[in-house]
Structures are given as structure tokens and as C-alpha cells.
Amino acid sequence: PRQANPSIPSRSLPARQPANVLEEARTRLHVSSVPESLPCREQEFQDIYSFVESKITDGTGGCMYISGVPGTGKTATVHEVIRCLQHAADADQIPPFTFVEINGMKMTEPHQAYVQVLQKLTGQKATADHAAALLERRFSKPAPRKETTVLLVDELDLLWTRKQNVMYNLFDWPTRRHARLVVLTIANTMDLPERIMINRVASRLGLTRMSFQPYTFKQLQQILTSRLNKLKAFEEDALQLVSRKVAALSGDARRCLDICRRATEICELVGMGHVMEALNEMFSSAYVAAIRSASLQEQLFLRAVIAEFRRLGLEEATFQQVLLQHQALCRVEGLPPVGVSEGLAACLRLGACRLLLLDSSRLGLLMRVRLNASQDDVLFALKAD
């Protein structure tokens, strides 16, 4: 309606500053406190920097595709490159440029990309079609004293449409003679251009590609050490354990930082034990605990499921078959026999927390039952108590 100024109301008192070593460590370990320069990504930084810098100084345009699994520092590295380039531009070492960033996940549908780019470039509001036309004109017409634009497109795979015109335009504009546009695109999978793009789009994206490898344990350890920066909150071995565990699973730096942060909440000086506790908390599956905390009838039902699977030699049975086993088990255990309604209720409760996978419950006795955890897990959980 009017020129609004989006903001969250401000606090009456500023937030408390960290009071002791652990709180300080916790603040530094938060994923949001990105350091000035990212450790272990020097090579990638250099490559992207020289690519963008050469395009800016030559006044030409181009595309680059950056891929890598989540949490490997893609967006942070690009932001760092841009920050350094801004410094260089402020010091008059390179011509000035404008930086625009869009994120595929932060818009409701692909065509919103035009609207957001236009708004960030000129502050103008327009509909998607109109914005596309305006941008088209801007990038194809020659204009004196035009600055280079660096456009960062994060989560590129979300911009896919059936005709792929959004991607096509994004990659086509840099090839225009007067565009002076550098497009940096980021996505997770390495083979995205081959997989989802039609030929003319993939060809315009070009072959300048870079992939971010998952962090190795040494790199993760280095990241943690540099974040903590001589703060005495962690034992050396504890850090190594976290980095080795995370590197073995995913190499996601966010995970590493989150685990360390959780470990600081558990205790004072963080040792191996606390890190183990945090690791178990965040990686372990809850199925075993859930089975152990289930009621006796629910446990019996699970046992009946396994007994029936063994009898059939299949991984699927109808509720009626399982119920027969359940009633037999009740007799063996000396419990009052379960009725159909009671058995069904137990089955549905197990289905609601996804220990079992079920058909729609309208099928009643004919509903098919499958296990969501492995049989070994279930047996282990049932045996241990």
C-alpha cells in the first residue's frame, strides 16, 4: 500500500554479551559468524576471484557454474570474493561494479527472479513479464559509462521451468555485446547442466565450472581451530573426533559447528566424553529408543510382525495375519487376549510414529503392514530389555 520499511522491532536492552569462555566459544562456533577469510578454500577463492576480476577489467561478461554438496562453503566463498572485489573497487584498482544476489529458494516461483533482479538493480517494482522486458532492454542496449553487473544465482535448480526460459535468459544476457554481466550460479549437483538443461541453455552456460569437494577431516579441524582462535574451550582430541566423524559422514561444515556448539552446552572444558554425547545425540537414530519406550502390547505387536515375516518369508503382511500372531503371543505371555480394535489401535500408533509403514487405515484387517526399521534393529531393541 505505501512505501513500507520492513523491520523486526528492536529490543529494549541490547542482548547480553558472552560472559565466559564457553559462551564466547558458542558465539564463535555459531554458523552465522562467518570469518573474514575462509580457511581451506584458498584455491577456490583464487579461481573465482581471477575469473570475476578479469571479466570486470575487460568489461566483458560470462557465466560460471559452481557445484558442491550443502555446507561446503560455496556461498560464503563467493561472498568473500565479492567483498574483496568491492574493496579493490573502492581503492580504484578495478572499475566499479554492482552486485546483485538472488536465491532460487527465496522466491515463490522461477519468474520472480526477474522481479527481484530488477528491483535490486533499479529499485523499480514490476510484474514478472514487465521486469523481463525491462531487463532485456537494459542488457541489450549499449549505454555509455555502464557498470559491470555481477549476478549471483544461488540454488539454480529451483529456476527450472518447463520451457527453461528463465535459465535461458540468465545465461543469454552475458553473451550480448553490451551486457557487461557476470553470472555466477550455485547448485548442489555437479551434473545439473547435463541433466536438466536443454542443449541451448547448457551451451550458453559454458564450460567454466568449479566443484567444491566435501571437507576432509583435516580441513574441518582447521576450520574449528581457526574459529576458536586460541580460545581454551576444547581439548584437541575432542575437535579431532568431531572432524573425523563428520568427514566420514558428509563433510558438512555446518554439522561440525553445530555439534561443537551442542558440546559446549553440555559442560565446562569440552572433552572427548562430551563430544561423544553430542555426536550420539545428533546422529543416532531414535528407532531403538522408541521401541524400548513403547508399551508392552506395541512391543508384542512388533514381535508378531517379525514372526509373521519369518513365517511368510516376505517383508509385508496383512494386519489380519499379524493379529493372529499377536494373539498367540499374548497367550504365551499370559496376558489378556487382544481384541481386533485394541490390536488395530496399537498398530496405528506404531504407524503414526513411523515404526511401521501402513496402508490407509480404512482397509481394516486387510491393511498391509511393513517395517520401517530393519528387523535386526527391532530385534535388538526388543531383546535388550
Partner 1 sequence: MSKRKAKDASLPVGECVAKLQEILRGRICRQQTPARPEGLEAQHKHLLDLLRRTAVHGESNSVLLVGPRGAGKTTLLQCALRDLLQDEEARRNLLQVHLNGLLQTSDGAALKEITRQLQLENVVGDRVFGSFAENLAFLLEALRKGDRSSSRPVLLVLDEFDLFAQHKNQTLLYNLLDASQSAQAPVAVVGLTCRLDVLELLEKRVKSRFSHRQIHLLSSPTFPQYLERVRARLSLPRDFPDGQFARDWNGSVESLCEDKCVREVLHRQFISTSDFRSLHLLLMFCLSRVSVSRPTLRASDLLEASRLCFTDANANMLHGLSILELCLVIAMKHLDDVYQGEPFNLQMVHNEFKKFLQRRSNSLYHFETPVIMQAFEHLQQLELIRPVDGSSAKCQKEFQLMRLMLDHSQVLEALQKYPQCPTDVRQWAASAFGWM
Which listed residue (198, 269, 328, 363) binds partner 1 by CB under 8 A? 363
CA distance linking residue 178 with residue 57, whole number of Å: 14
Interacting residues of 255 by C-beta distance below 8 A, sequence separation 6+: 71, 246, 249, 282
Shortest distance (Å) from residue 223 CB to partner 1: 15
Give me 166's grid cell.
Answer: 528463465
Instruction: Please report, as residue ranges, which positions from 136 to 155 form the binding site for partner 1 (by CB under 8 A).
Output: 155
Instruction: Select from 190, 282, 306, 379 the one that contacts partner 1 (CB under 8 A).
Output: 282
CB of 77 vs partner 1, minimal distance in Å: 15
297 binds partner 1 (CB under 8 A): yes
- Of 204-233, binders to partner 1 (CB under 8 A) are none
- Is residue 269 a contact residue for partner 1 (CB under 8 A)? no
Interaction between residue 188 and partner 1 (CB under 8 A): yes
Fill in the DSSP letter of residue 236. H
* Binding of residue 28 to partner 1 (CB under 8 A): no
What part of residues 365-384 is at the interface with partner 1 (CB under 8 A)?
365-366, 372
Of 37, 335, 361, 374, the one binding partner 1 (CB under 8 A) is 335
Q: How far apart are CA 68 and CA 243, in angstroms?
A: 19
Q: Binding residue for partner 1 (CB under 8 A) from 84, 89, 158, 196?
A: 158
d(C-alpha 97, C-alpha 82), whole Å: 10
DSSP 266-315: H-SSB-HHHHHHHHHHHHS-SHHHHHHHS-HHHHHHHHHHHHHHHHHTSS
- CA dist 349 to 28, 131, 192, 303, 318, Å? 42, 52, 41, 15, 16
Shortest Å, Cβ 258 to partner 1: 5
CA–CA separation, 359 and 306 (whole Å): 18
Which residues ranging from 47 to 106 are in contact with partner 1 (CB under 8 A)? 69-71, 105-106
Q: Single out the segment in contact with partner 1 by CB under 8 A; choices: 15-23, 192-200, 235-243, 269-277.
A: 15-23
User: Which listed residue (30, 87, 200, 311) binds partner 1 by CB under 8 A?
Assistant: 30
For every residue of 109-177, DSSP letters joined together read STTHHHHHHHHHHH-----HHHHHHHHHHHHHS--TTPPEEEEEEESGGGG--SS-HHHHHHHHGGGST
C-alpha cell at 31: 554458523
The verdict on 13 binding partner 1 (CB under 8 A) reads: yes
User: What's the closest the beta carbon of residue 128 comes to partner 1, in angstroms?
Assistant: 9
Of 80-88, 165-173, 220-228, 343-351, the window that binds partner 1 (rule: CB under 8 A) is: 343-351
Binding residue for partner 1, selected from 15, 143, 248, 384, defined by CB under 8 A: 15
The answer to whether the CB of 52 falls within 8 A of the CB of 86 is no
Among the listed residues 99, 114, 287, 309, the single contact to partner 1 using CB under 8 A: 287
Contact indicator for 64, 51 with CB cutoff of 8 Å: yes
When binding is defined by CB under 8 A, the residue of 248, 286, 332, 384 that contacts partner 1 is 286
Residues 113-132 within binding reach of partner 1 (CB under 8 A): 115-116
Q: Is 280 in the site for partner 1 (CB under 8 A)?
A: no
**Residue-by-residue DSSP string for 209-226:** EEEEPPPPHHHHHHHHHH
Size of site (CB under 8 A) for partner 1 = 83
The nearest distance, CB 85 to partner 1, in angstroms, is 20
Region label for 145, one of left (φ > 0), alpha (ψ between -120 and 50) or beta (otherwise): left
> With binding defined as CB under 8 A, does residue 320 bind partner 1?
yes
Residue 162 CB, nearest approach to partner 1 (Å): 15
Rule CB under 8 A: say whether 313 interacts with partner 1: no
Q: Does 23 bind partner 1 (CB under 8 A)?
A: yes
* Minimum distance of partner 1 from residue 79's CB (angstroms): 11
